[in-house]
Amino acid sequence: MKSEFLMLSLLILGPASPGNDIDVYLQPLIEELKDLWCNRLDTDNATKKETFKMYATLRSTTSDFPGYAMLSGYSTKGKFACPYCHYETGHRFLSNNNKSFYMAHRRFLDADHPWRYDTKAFDRETEERAAPEPLTGFEIEELLKDWKNNFGKLQPKKKNDGCPWRKSSIFHTLVY
């Protein structure tokens, strides 16, 4: 993490968050990543004074949760807020002030954990379900197979409540 090993690869200007449009700004970077993986790049070895072919690959991204939504296309809000629990997110709604809240955390405890059967301290229910299984890459690929992305002014304002995705991320165009 030393500054001499960090490179600024992209800077998006503007007062507002790009939202899903981040994919438009990411296009040059994605092109470079594809090039670096598929064709490699002649790179100088200063010690040996010769060049070698360098591969580069995207390993991971770091962001806050709203940034996660922008980068991944997964909503991170409301009914499907949790990317790990996806369709099984323990979402509930407080109708008095229109706010979401989240339950079902006891699903992640060991099967015999006493809190699972502590109805008093929780929501008067026992919790016998196992933790939700995260979706696999293949399942997500299948779900987003025929997805049509719209960017800019064409971006739909209305939420599609049956689906936790808002777009098929530009990262899906990389070689996996």
Ligand X SMILES: *[C@@H]1O[C@H](CO)[C@@H](O)[C@H](O)[C@H]1NC(C)=O
- Interacting residues toward ligand X by CB under 6 A: 45, 47-48, 52, 97-98
Is 98 or 136 the residue whose CB approaches ligand X more closely? Answer: 98
- Residue 30 near residue 173 (C-beta atoms within 8 A): yes
> Could you tell me how many helices (H) and strands (E) the chain has, helices first?
3, 4
Decide: 16 and 27 in contact? Cβ < 8 Å: no
Contact partner, 93, from ligand X, Zn ion, none, Cβ < 5-8 Å per class:
none
Which structure tokens are listed for 17? 């968050």
- Residues 63-82 binding Zn ion (CB under 5 A) are 82
Q: And the tokens for 8?
A: 């600024």
Query: By CB under 5 A, is residue 87 in contact with Zn ion?
Result: no
* Alpha-carbon span 40 to 20, nearest angstrom: 29
Q: How far is the CB of 161 from ligand X (least distance, A)?
A: 14
- Binding partner of residue 39 among ligand X, Zn ion, none, CB under 5 to 8 Å per kind? none
Among ligand X, Zn ion, none, the one that 85 touches (CB under a kind-dependent 5 to 8 A) is Zn ion
- How far is Cα 151 from Cα 169, in angstroms, rounded to an integer? 12
Residue from 52, 55, 65, 84 binding Zn ion (CB under 5 A): 84
